[in-house]
Amino acid sequence: MGDLRDLYQEIVIDHSKRPRNRRQMPDADRSAQGYNPLCGDKVAVYVKLENGRLKEVSFEGTGCAISTASASIMTEMLKGKTPEEAQRLFDRFHDLVTTGQEGNGNKPALGKLEVFSKLNEYPARVKCATLVWHTLRSALKGGGTVSTEEG
Among 18, 23, 50, 62, binds other proteins (CB under 8 A): 62
Number of residues located near other proteins, criterion CB under 8 A? 22
Closest by CA position to 72, among listed 26, 34, 23: 23
DSSP state, residue 22: B
Tell whether residue 122 is a contact of other proteins (CB under 8 A). yes
Pairing of the two strands 145-147 and 30-36:
parallel
Tell whether residue 128 is a contact of other proteins (CB under 8 A). yes
Tell whether residue 13 is a contact of other proteins (CB under 8 A). yes
| d(C-alpha 102, C-alpha 74), whole Å | 17
User: Nearer to other proteins by C-beta: 11 or 64?
Assistant: 64
With a CB cutoff of 8 Å and minimum separation 6, the contacts of 24 are 44, 46, 58, 60
With a CB cutoff of 8 Å and minimum separation 6, the contacts of 106 are none
Using the rule CB under 8 A, give the single segment among 57-65, 76-84, 87-95, 131-139 that binds other proteins. Answer: 57-65
Residues of the shown chain interacting with other proteins in the complex, contacts defined by CB under 8 A: 1, 3-4, 7-8, 13, 16-17, 38-41, 62-66, 68, 122, 124-125, 128
